């Protein structure tokens, strides 16, 4: 069975410092993994995705994530936070099996960026 655990419900960083948002998953198959960002009262925007190619994935706005199969992790990082990064971030796992894709969302991590 699939599951996604975002280890922190809130993360607070200062502008210009690194960001780390943690995500662990479980999957019975070879999953696709995604990070989405949601700004207040907006829909979800794809930041990046892992689809069994390179394990280090680069996304938009300077974000990266590394797929570590041995640790079943897909943590999201950014070297230097910007005020505009303050938002809710969702880790998502999607499995393709005989029934088609099954997609599970994590509970989300709210990122606060202090000036």
Partner 1 sequence: DTGVSQNPRHKITKRGQNVTFRCDPISEHNRLYWYRQTLGQGPEFLTYFQNEAQLEKSRLLSDRFSAERPKGSFSTLEIQRTEQGDSAMYLCASRLRGGRANTGELFFGEGSRLTVL
Q: How far is the CB of 14 from partner 1 (least distance, A)?
A: 24
Please tell me the distance from the alpha carbon of residue 115 to that of residue 103, in angstroms, as a whole number: 36
Contact 65, 93 (CB under 8 A): no
Residue 110 CB, shortest distance to partner 1, in Å, is 8
Restricting to residues 13-72, name those near partner 1 by CB under 8 A.
32, 34, 36, 41-46, 49, 51
Q: Minimum Å distance from CB 79 to partner 1?
A: 25
Give the pairing type, strands 44-50 and 32-38.
antiparallel
Q: Which one of the spans 54-62, 63-71, 75-83, 88-96 is the region binding partner 1 (CB under 8 A)?
A: 88-96
């Amino acid at each position: 069975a699939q599951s996604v655990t975002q280890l922190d419900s809130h993360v607070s960083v200062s502008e210009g410092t690194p960001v780390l948002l943690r995500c662990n998953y479980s999957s019975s198959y070879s999953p696709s993994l995604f990070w989405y960002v949601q700004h207040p009262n907006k829909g979800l925007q794809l930041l990046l995705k892992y689809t069994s190619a390179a394990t280090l994935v680069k996304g938009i706005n300077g974000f990266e994530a590394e797929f570590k199969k041995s640790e079943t992790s897909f943590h999201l990082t950014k070297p230097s936070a910007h005020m505009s990064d303050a938002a809710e971030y969702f880790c998502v796992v999607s499995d393709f099996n005989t029934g088609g894709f099954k997609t599970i969302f994590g509970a989300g991590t709210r990122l606060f960026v202090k000036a």
